């Protein structure tokens, strides 16, 4: 069953409106632990897949799920992981008004944003990066070549807008943002959990190892056998394990 949510509208420091949904945590634990859920590229917190993930996490704490800029009902244009740190920061700051500890849980692009946010902005008690890239411009798999086509070509951007309600900014990054593997060592002493599947068709396992090797303690790497990519492959059991890991994070 997909849990009911309470809609919210956030505003980033650069003035972009961000659509969000809030699921209260379990009875008796209100105010202790909150999650900020960050979807992958072309995703949305309103999809059934993401709603199911949020419903499972809500068994461990409150959940604030957002649509990144240029996605779904949020305003602005997607910068595919750059300015999205401001979106996540707006959500974390909002969550911190209600929860003592906030853990960010990001999938794919959202994982890269969660890593960069913790390194550049802080304010979190833990970071979970699921199926995330370690570095930018990776084209070593067919799905990632298709993603780059959607980002770089007018026909691809039109297809993303029509089929996925994702509006993508035109042009290259300038300057190039801090890469996820460069952000990873700056997160400590906040606990970092890296989750990656050995059957990921977008980012091979080398990305997870590069992130883990760059990070400092406390850090964990979970290599999930048979697990594919991001939200679409996440099982309730995996999300429950992430929830239990998050309950062990300490107040800042």
- The predicted pLDDT at position 39 comes to 98
245 against 1, higher pLDDT: 245
- The predicted pLDDT at position 252 comes to 55
Number of neighbours of residue 30 by Cβ within 10 angstroms: 14
CA nearest 207: which of 82, 109, 126?
A: 109
Question: Per residue, what are the HEC states of the chain?
Answer: CCCCCEEEEEECCCCCEEEEEEECCCCCCCCCEEEEEECCCCCCCCCHHHHHHHHHHCCCCEEEEECCCCECCCCCCECCCCCHHHHHHHHHHHHHCCCCEEEEEEECHHHHHHHHHHHHCCCCCEEEEECCCCCCCCCCCHHHHHHHHHHHCHHHHHHHHHHHCECECCCCCCCCCCCHHHHHHHCCCCCEEEEEECCCCCCCCHHHHHHHHHCCCCEEEEEECCCCCHHHHCCHHHHHHHHHHHHCCCCC
Q: Where are the domains of the chain?
A: 6-137+176-247
Q: For 72-128, how does the pLDDT look when each residue is reduced to its tens digit (9 = 90+)?
A: 999 999 999 999 999 999 999 999 999 999 999 999 999 999 999 999 999 999 999
- The predicted pLDDT at position 1 comes to 43
Q: For 26-79, how does the pLDDT look when each residue is reduced to its tens digit (9 = 90+)?
A: 865 668 999 999 999 999 999 999 999 999 999 999 999 999 999 999 999 999
* Domain spanning 6-137+176-247, CATH class: alpha beta
Q: For 143-191, how does the pLDDT look when each residue is reduced to its tens digit (9 = 90+)?
A: 999 999 999 999 999 999 999 999 999 999 999 999 999 999 999 999 9
Residue 8 pLDDT grade (very low, low, confident, very high; cuts 50, 70, 90): confident
207 has a pLDDT exceeding 50: yes
């Amino acid at each position: 069953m997909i849990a009911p949510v309470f809609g919210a509208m956030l505003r980033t420091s650069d003035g972009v409106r961000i659509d969000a949904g809030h699921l209260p945590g379990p009875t008796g634990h209100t105010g202790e632990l909150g999650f900020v859920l960050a979807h992958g590229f072309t995703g949305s917190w309103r999809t059934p897949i993401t709603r199911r993930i949020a419903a499972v996490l809500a068994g461990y704490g409150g959940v604030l799920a957002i649509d990144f800029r240029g996605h779904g009902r949020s305003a602005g244009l997607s910068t595919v992981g750059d300015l999205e740190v401001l979106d996540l920061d707006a959500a974390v700051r909002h969550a911190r008004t209600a929860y003592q500890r906030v853990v960010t849980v990001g999938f794919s692009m959202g994982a890269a944003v969660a890593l960069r946010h913790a390194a550049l902005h802080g304010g979190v008690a833990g970071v979970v990066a699921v199926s995330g890239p370690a570095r930018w411009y990776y084209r070593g798999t067919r799905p990632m070549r298709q993603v780059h086509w959607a980002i770089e070509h007018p026909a691809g951007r039109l297809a993303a807008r029509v089929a996925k309600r994702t509006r993508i900014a035109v042009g290259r990054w300038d300057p190039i943002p801090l890469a996820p593997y460069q952000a990873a060592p700056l997160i400590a002493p906040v606990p970092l959990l890296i989750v990656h599947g050995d059957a990921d068709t977008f980012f091979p396992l080398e990305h997870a190892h590069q992130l883990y090797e760059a990070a400092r303690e406390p850090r964990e790497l979970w290599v999930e056998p048979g697990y594919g990519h991001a939200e679409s492959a996440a099982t309730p059991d995996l999300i429950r394990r992430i929830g239990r890991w998050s309950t062990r994070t300490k107040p800042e």
